[in-house]
Every structure is written in structure tokens, then in C-alpha cells.
Amino acid sequence: MTDNNFDALVIGAGAGGLLTAARLSHLGYKTLVIERLDKVGGRASTDEVEGFKVNNGAIVIELGGITQETFEEVGAKFDIRRPQPPILYRIGKKDVDVTGGGWGFLLSKLTRQGAKLVTGLGAARNDSGMPENEISTADWVRKYTKKESVHGIFRNMCGSVFAVGSEELPARVFLTYFTRKSAFKKFGFCPDGTIGVWKALAEVIENNGGSVWLDAEVTELTLTDGRITGASIRRGGETTDVTSRFTVSDIGPFATLDLVGRENLPADYVAQIEQGNRPCAMISVNFASRRKLSTAPGLLSFATTRRLCYVANFTELCPEMAPEGWHLYQGTGVPKPSVGEFDEKSETELVLQDLRDEIEGFDEARILSINVTRDGWPPQRAVAGYDMPYATPIPNLWNVGDAVKEYGNGGTTACAETAKIVVDEIHGQFPVE
């Protein structure tokens, strides 16, 4: 093989791309990852801002599930520190730890109707107790209670896990996630910022003989007799052509259409992907203080905020993320509506008002950045429950990432799950040569 001939071409060094490429290179495929930006991690990466490690997307990584399993399988360092308790809920003026008590305990703090809701949740463990897909999570909760604080808790859970409000998330997705999936019960922060975990995967890929090209962009996929046989890559002002036996795209099926050319794909597939392209949005405020502003070692969530879903406390467990003597936090909210158009200025103001109301001392804190993630750089490329297929009409082209999640999953965990499924399919079809 010459330098530019690969078994696997992976477009994008986001969570989905790197989890896939690490598995492929571990199996022995000669793997090339192409990333447009100058660093790995995509929407789960980290920026250096005035000496702070500021996460630009995902802040917590699940422990004990498919993500950790992948790292262990491929031999990558998985440096995640687990806060205990993972999450406190601010109910009234108290920050409540519900660890061990589960839903019953949490809901009993909010409403006398808690038992009925717990029964509804229990019923969802059987298919017959699952609501129709058209019923939103908010409508499902409304069947049991009108209480604002209960709706607030459910709204903020939908926001935290799926990056949409409870009006936009099918109840079936919410209930599938909490009754049948690992449900992010255990999670933690990476002390290097979330980028640390993806750097560890990139290292494994390179140790396995693969390559990760940064500052490089796939501009076109080469189609020969209905199969992808390689790509044109713009890198350092030059175009390089590479060949591949198969290709995996982590840039979302919608952007992948452009690389293949819509005219080369069946019209019904193109229509399905164009309709399914419904990115959601989030607003994150990164702030720092010399004073400690939260007693929650992990996340603090809320029952009665306007938009704010959680405040993450990074430095309690990972002091390396801030200069000495500083505490680093992030407050994140979901706008209304969280899918489609919204007024960025007024929605950001509502997140800031919540932070002023909930976090004593926020007014004196140093705001490092305010990130509105939406459109082409969203928190989830497809709303959970409306995911697109990972397979494509081209037999040696697959999609991975958070637009092609399995039903009822979200975030980087969903990326790890699809990566495994896609790599298993590839391995079945393309023997290692």
C-alpha cells in the first residue's frame, strides 16, 4: 500500500468518528481520520480561555456503559473523575441528593402525586405501558400532575440529556431511556476538559498504525460504480486524493449528502435525510470565580428555572481545569423552542437571569464565554426519537454520530453505541486484509 491508500476513511474526529476509528484500527484496518478543525473532539471538545479549560459541548462522559467499554476494548486511557453524588436537585431552597432513593424519592419531594407518576414510569417497563410516539414528555407528565416544579424537573432532565424541552421530546423516548437504557446514572468529568478522552482515542489510532489529519477537510467523495472508492482532501492549501475500501462519515447524513452529491443518491433517501435534519439548540455560560459558588460536586439541576437546566461544577474534582485559586462552572439551558427558530438574545438573557437567581455570587463571577450551539453546530443533530439511519444506499458508506442514534439514546453514549454497531457490520463485510 502507498501512503494514501487506506482500508477505512473516517470523516470527522468528533466522538462518533474517533470511537469508530479506534475500533477499526484496533481490529487491524488501516484507518485515516480527517478533521477540518485544528483539534479533535468536535462538539465535545475543549478550548483554552484565559488559562481555563472550557468545554465547548459535552461536559460529562458516562461511566460503566458502552463508552467506557470501547475505551477498555481498544486500550485507551479513560480518565474520568466521578462526582458523588453525581447530581443535586434544587427544590425550593434546598439542594437535595436523591441517590439511592430514585424516582420515588425525587418525586415525593415535589408532589403528593409522586406515587402515581412512579406507577406510570413502572408501567413503561412493559411495552403495553408505553405511550404512543406522538405524546410529548410534557403531555405525559400532565396526565399525572399540573405542578410546575414537577414539569420543571422533567423539562430540565429532557434538556440535560436530549437537549430539547419536554414539549419536544416524545414521552416514549424519555421512558425508554430511563427504564431500559443505562440512563447516565454514573458519569464524570475529564480533568483535561472533555477533549482529553478524544485525544486518548486519537493516540490509540496512531499507535495502531492509523493517522489523524487535523486542519484537513474532505471536499468530495469519489464514487466509482456505485461505491465510494476514496476522497479528495484539502490540507495546507493543497488537495490530496486518498483511496479507501469503505468510508464512515461523522459529519451527519445531511452534510454527507453534499460530499456524495444528491444526484448520486435515490430521491427518497435524500428526502428522508432532508426532512430528518432537525438540529436542536443549547445555551451555555462558562463562568469562573475565586469564591466557591456551588456545593454540588457534579451537577446541580433545578425544579423552577425559566431555561437553565443545570450548573456543572468542574473544579471540585478537576482543579487542573482552572488557574490556581479559581473555580470553574458552566450553566446550560435549552431555549424555547429548542428546535427551529428562537430569539437568541432574549433566550440567552433568560439563562443569565436564572443564573443570577439561582447562583449567589454569579453577578461578581467572571464570564469566560457564552456559547449558543445551534444549526450546523447543535447539541444533537437529530432530536431523539427522530433519528436517521446509519446505513446509506451506498453499500460501503455509513454514518455515525448523534444524528443516527439508536432509539432512546443521546450524546456521546449514543455515538459509542452506533460506532460499535457500524464497526460490527463493516467487520462482517470487509475481512481485514
Tell me if the bond preceding 337 is cis, omega within 30° of 0.
Answer: yes
Of 175 and 415, which CB lies nearer to ligand FAD in the complex structure? 415
Tell me how far apart the 2 most distant CA atoms of the chain are, in Å.
69
Considering the rule CB under 6 A, would residue 13 count as an interface residue with ligand FAD?
Answer: yes
* Shortest CB 197 distance to ligand FAD, Å: 10
Q: Which stretch binds ligand FAD (CB under 6 A): 37-45, 76-84, 204-212, 334-342?
A: 37-45
Considering the rule CB under 6 A, would residue 34 count as an interface residue with ligand FAD?
Answer: yes
Q: How far is CA 157 from CA 131, 269, 330, 332, in A?
A: 18, 33, 16, 12
Considering the rule CB under 6 A, would residue 11 count as an interface residue with ligand FAD?
Answer: yes
Binding residue for ligand FAD (CB under 6 A) from 52, 54, 57, 329?
A: 57
Considering the rule CB under 6 A, would residue 46 count as an interface residue with ligand FAD?
Answer: no
> Does residue 370 contact residue 284 with C-beta atoms inside 8 Å?
yes
Q: How far apart are CA 49 and CA 325, in angstroms?
A: 16
Which residue in 141, 136, 92, 82 sits closest to 117, CA to CA? 141
Q: How far apart are CA 223 and CA 225, in angstroms?
A: 7
Considering the rule CB under 6 A, would residue 409 count as an interface residue with ligand FAD?
Answer: no
Binding residue for ligand FAD (CB under 6 A) from 7, 9, 10, 14?
A: 14
Binding residue for ligand FAD (CB under 6 A) from 60, 118, 257, 355?
A: 60
* Strand (E) or helix (H) holding 370: strand 366-373
Binding residue for ligand FAD (CB under 6 A) from 8, 9, 10, 12?
A: 12
Of 38 and 433, which CB lies nearer to ligand FAD in the complex structure? 38
Q: How far apart are CA 84 and CA 67, in angstroms?
A: 20
Binding residue for ligand FAD (CB under 6 A) from 59, 80, 270, 416?
A: 59
Binding residue for ligand FAD (CB under 6 A) from 192, 217, 220, 357?
A: 217
Please provide residue 372's backbone torsions phi and psi, each rounded to the nearest 5 degrees.
-105, 110
Number of residues that bind ligand FAD (CB under 6 A): 35
Q: List binders of ligand FAD among 258-287 (CB under 6 A).
A: 282, 284
For strands 216-224 and 227-235, give the pairing. Answer: antiparallel
Of 18 and 118, which CB lies nearer to ligand FAD in the complex structure? 18
Q: How far apart are CA 216 and CA 286, in angstroms?
A: 29
Q: How far apart are CA 229 and CA 226, in angstroms?
A: 9
Of 43 and 109, which CB lies nearer to ligand FAD in the complex structure? 43
Binding residue for ligand FAD (CB under 6 A) from 279, 401, 408, 426?
A: 401
Considering the rule CB under 6 A, would residue 58 count as an interface residue with ligand FAD?
Answer: yes
Which residue in 326, 240, 267, 250 sits closest to 49, CA to CA? 326
Considering the rule CB under 6 A, would residue 80 count as an interface residue with ligand FAD?
Answer: no
Q: How far is CA 70 from CA 20, 90, 250, 407, in A?
A: 9, 34, 17, 20
Of 147 and 234, which CB lies nearer to ligand FAD in the complex structure? 234
The footprint of ligand FAD (CB under 6 A) covers 11-17, 34-37, 42-44, 57-60, 217-218, 250-251, 255, 282, 284, 332, 373, 379-380, 401-402, 411-413, 415
